[in-house]
C-alpha cells in the first residue's frame, strides 16, 4: 500500500498545471471519538490519494481537522466518501472564497495528540457543553450590543491583516496563550457580558466556548463556521459585511481578501500592505508582511543579511545550513527584531472602558 507521497511539490505542481482542471480548496473539522487514529489515518490517505486530494490533515483520538484541495470534478466522490463515515456524514465543508489550484502540493495526513494545539486537559471539563452557534445575521446583531465583547481567537499575525470591527485581538503567538489572557481580562464580567468569539473556520471556538463555560462564563457565543462561512453567508444573503481586510489561511494562498481595506503595514518600511511573504533565504524563511516596493528592493528577503545569503549559489546556501536548525526567526511570524514595524494591539481592558 502506498501511504506516502511519491512526488515532490515541484513535480505535483507540474502535473496540476498539465491537467488543466479547476480545484476546490476546502476545510472542515469534526470532534469525535476515534479509537485508533493510525488506522483511520491510513484509511483516509488511501481513499483521498485515489481522488487526487492534496492538503494537510490532522487526526487524533478527539477527531479530525482538515485543510485540503481536490479536483472540482472529484467533489461528489469525495463527499460520498465523507458521508460513508458516521461522524463525517453531512459535515459542514467550508469552501474557499478565492480558489487557487496550487493551494496544496502534497497530501499529508498526520496523527497528532490533538487536532488543535490547545494545551487543555479535556478530562477536566465537558467539551460537548459548547457555546451558542451564531449564523451571520445573528452575529451581526449581537456584536452591536453594548454588552458584547467580541474576541478574535486567532493569533496576532492572522488578525493583523484582517478582523471584525471593534474586535479584541489578543497579542499572542498561540491559541493556548489567548485562553488565559481572555479569562483574566474578563474575570469581572463573566455574568454581565456576552462573550462572542470567532476564528478562521470555527474549530478553535468549539473548544474555547466549552472551556469558558466551564470557567463560569454565562453568555458564551461563537460564529458558526468561522470567518469563511460568515463571508459565504453575507454574500448569499446580502448582509452587511463587518469584517475588514483579509482572512489569513493556512495554505499557499496565505489569505483571502474580504474587504478592500488594507489595515496592516509593511514590516520593513511601514507603508500600507497586507501581503505575507516568506523570506527567500531558506535558512530563515521568516513569515512577514512586505510591500511590493520592499519586495523588489530586498529581493523577497527580510534583511540585507538574508539577501546576501540568498544570492549565493544553491550548493553554497545548502552547505551553510548544514548542522543548523531552523532560524529562531521562523517562529516569530513578523516579530523579528530587525523588522522595524510591529503590530500595535489594544487589550480587552481598553475595549471594556469604551
Q: What is the pLDDT of residues 161-170, one digit of tens each?
A: 999 999 999 9
pLDDT, position 346: 45
d(C-alpha 202, C-alpha 115), whole Å? 13
Query: Is the model's pLDDT at 259 over the cut of 90?
Result: yes
pLDDT, position 345: 45
pLDDT, position 252: 82
d(C-alpha 233, C-alpha 227), whole Å? 10
Alpha carbon of residue 194 to chain centroid: 25
Query: Is the model's pLDDT at 74 over the cut of 50?
Result: yes
Query: Hey, which CATH number is domain 22-111, 2.40.128.630, 3.30.70.100, 3.30.1330.10, 2.60.40.3880?
Result: 3.30.70.100
pLDDT, position 326: 64
Percent of the chain with pLDDT over 90: 72
- Tens of pLDDT, residues 80-92: 999 999 999 999 9
Assigned superfamily of 122-237:
Rhodanese-like domain (3.40.250.10)
**Residues in Cβ contact with 196 at an 8 Å cutoff, skipping those fewer than 6 apart:** 134, 139, 142, 143, 148, 149, 150, 151, 221, 222, 223
pLDDT, position 1: 57
Query: Is the model's pLDDT at 103 over the cut of 60?
Result: yes
Mean per-residue pLDDT of the chain: 90
Q: Of 46-60, 64-78, 191-205, 337-351, which gets the smallest average pLDDT?
A: 337-351
Alpha carbon of residue 301 to chain centroid: 23
pLDDT, position 222: 97
Query: Is the model's pLDDT at 322 over the cut of 90?
Result: no
199 is catalytic: yes
d(C-alpha 343, C-alpha 337), whole Å? 13
Split at pLDDT 50, 70, 90, the class of 307 is: very high
- Tens of pLDDT, residues 55-72: 999 999 999 999 999 999
Q: CA 338 → CA 102, 279, 307, distances in Å?
A: 31, 13, 13
Q: What are the sequence ranges of the domains in the chain? A: 22-111, 122-237, 264-344
Tell me the average pLDDT across 137-155.
Answer: 96
Q: Model pTM greater than 0.75?
A: yes
pLDDT, position 341: 81
pLDDT, position 278: 92
* CA-wise closest residue to 193 among 153, 221, 214: 221
HEC assignment per residue over the chain: CCCCCCCCHHHHHHHHHHHCCCEEEEEEEEECCCCCHHHHHHHHHHHHHCCCCEEEEEEECCEEEEEEEEEHHHHHHHHHHHHCCHHHCCCCCEECCCCCCCCCCCEEEEECCCCCCCCCCHHHCCCCCCCEEECHHHHHHHCCCCCEEEEECCCHHHHCCEEECCCECCCCCCHHHHHHHHHHHCHHHCCCCEEEEECCCCHHHHHHHHHHHHCCCCCEEEECCHHHHHHHHHHHHCCCCCEEEEEECCCCCCEEECCCCCCCECCCCCCECCCEEECCCCCCCCEEECCHHHHHHHCCCCCHHHHHHHCCCHHHHHHHHCCCCCCHHHHCCCCCCCCCCCCCCCCHHHHHCC
Tell me the average pLDDT across 309-313.
Answer: 94
22-111 and 122-237 in the same fold: no
* CA-wise closest residue to 220 among 142, 120, 122, 114: 142
> For residue 89, which phi and psi values (nearest 5 degrees)?
-65, 125
pLDDT top residue among 73 and 346: 73
d(C-alpha 258, C-alpha 281), whole Å? 30
- Residues linked to residue 66 through DSSP beta bridges, in sequence order: 28, 57
- Residues linked to residue 94 through DSSP beta bridges, in sequence order: 27
pLDDT, position 349: 47
pLDDT, position 33: 92
- Cβ atoms of 139 and 223 within 8 Å: the answer is yes
pLDDT top residue among 221 and 11: 221
Amino acid at each position: 500500500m502506498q501511504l506516502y507521497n511519491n512526488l515532490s511539490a515541484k513535480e505535483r505542481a507540474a502535473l496540476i498545471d498539465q491537467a488543466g482542471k479547476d480545484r476546490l480548496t476546502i476545510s472542515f473539522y469534526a470532534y469525535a471519538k476515534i479509537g485508533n487514529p493510525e488506522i483511520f489515518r491510513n484509511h483516509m490517505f488511501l481513499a483521498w490519494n485515489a481522488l487526487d486530494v492534496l492538503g494537510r490533515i490532522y487526526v487524533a483520538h478527539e477527531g479530525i481537522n482538515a485543510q485540503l484541495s481536490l479536483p472540482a470534478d472529484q467533489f461528489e466522490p469525495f463527499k460520498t466518501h465523507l458521508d460513508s463515515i458516521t461522524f463525517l456524514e453531512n459535515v459542514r465543508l467550508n469552501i474557499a472564497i478565492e480558489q487557487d489550484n496550487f493551494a496544496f502540493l502534497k497530501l499529508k495526513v498526520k496523527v497528532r495528540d490533538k487536532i488543535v494545539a490547545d494545551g487543555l486537559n479535556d478530562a477536566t471539563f465537558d467539551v460537548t457543553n459548547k457555546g451558542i452557534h451564531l449564523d451571520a445575521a445573528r452575529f451581526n446583531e449581537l456584536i452591536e450590543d453594548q454588552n458584547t465583547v467580541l474576541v478574535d481567537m486567532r493569533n496576532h499575525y492572522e488578525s493583523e491583516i484582517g478582523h471584525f470591527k471593534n474586535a479584541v485581538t489578543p497579542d499572542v503567538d498561540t491559541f493556548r496563550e489567548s485562553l488565559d489572557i481572555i479569562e483574566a481580562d474578563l474575570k469581572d464580567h463573566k455574568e454581565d457580558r456576552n462573550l462572542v468569539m470567532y476564528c478562521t473556520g470555527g474549530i478553535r471556538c468549539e473548544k474555547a466556548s466549552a472551556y469558558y463555560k466551564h470557567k463560569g462564563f454565562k453568555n458564551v457565543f461563537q460564529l458558526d463556521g468561522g470567518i469563511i462561512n460568515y463571508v459565504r453567508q453575507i454574500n448569499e444573503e446580502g448582509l452587511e459585511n463587518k469584517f475588514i481586510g483579509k482572512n489569513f489561511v493556512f495554505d499557499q494562498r496565505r489569505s483571502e481578501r474580504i474587504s478592500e481595506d488594507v489595515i496592516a503595514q509593511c514590516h520593513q518600511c511601514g507603508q500600507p500592505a497586507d501581503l505575507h511573504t516568506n523570506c527567500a533565504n531558506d535558512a530563515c524563511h521568516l513569515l512577514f508582511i512586505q510591500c511590493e516596493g520592499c519586495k523588489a528592493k530586498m529581493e523577497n528577503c527580510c534583511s540585507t543579511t538574508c539577501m546576501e545569503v540568498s544570492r549565493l549559489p544553491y550548493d553554497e546556501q545548502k552547505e551553510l545550513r548544514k548542522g543548523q536548525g531552523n532560524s529562531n526567526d521562523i517562529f516569530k511570524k513578523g516579530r523579528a527584531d530587525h523588522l522595524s514595524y510591529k503590530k500595535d494591539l489594544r487589550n480587552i481592558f481598553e475595549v471594556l472602558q469604551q
